[in-house]
Amino acid sequence: LGYNTKNGERGANLTGGQRQRIAIARALLGNPKILILDEATSSLDTESERRFQQNLARISRDRTTFIIAHRLSTVRNADSILVLDQGLIAERGTHSELMAEKGLYYHLAQQQLDL
């Protein structure tokens, strides 16, 4: 398979994860100063998500990056995490700060992360 491979209208022959990886690559191609990743790993398999996490710091370097995610593993290393509850900011801090508060983020982390 190469660059000229036909993949159907709007990527119909691609998996959700393949479409998501292409969308991330397209977003990075323009080298934007602000990068918004909305559920960027939702369709990725475990290995692709792991590789994405490993490269996230490099991807975010020299740009403002907003990451919207339900998976806390995606935002765990962020400089600042905003926790929303019913559309309002309920908590704000780093992973360590939010874990120490033992609030909403802490309880979500207990459910999702291997702590």
Residue range 79-103: mean pLDDT, rounded:
97
54 pLDDT band, cuts 50/70/90, is confident
d(C-alpha 99, C-alpha 24), whole Å: 30
* Contact predicate 62/55, CB 8 Å: no
pLDDT tens-digit profile of 13-51?
A: 687 778 777 888 888 888 899 999 898 878 778 888 888
Question: Residue type for 28, please?
Answer: L
pTM of the model: 0.74
pLDDT of residue 85: 96
The β-bridge relationship of strands 64-68 and 34-38 is parallel
pLDDT of residue 22: 82
Q: How many CB atoms lie within 10 A of CB 56?
A: 20
Domains of the chain: 1-70 (3.40.50.300), 79-115 (no CATH)
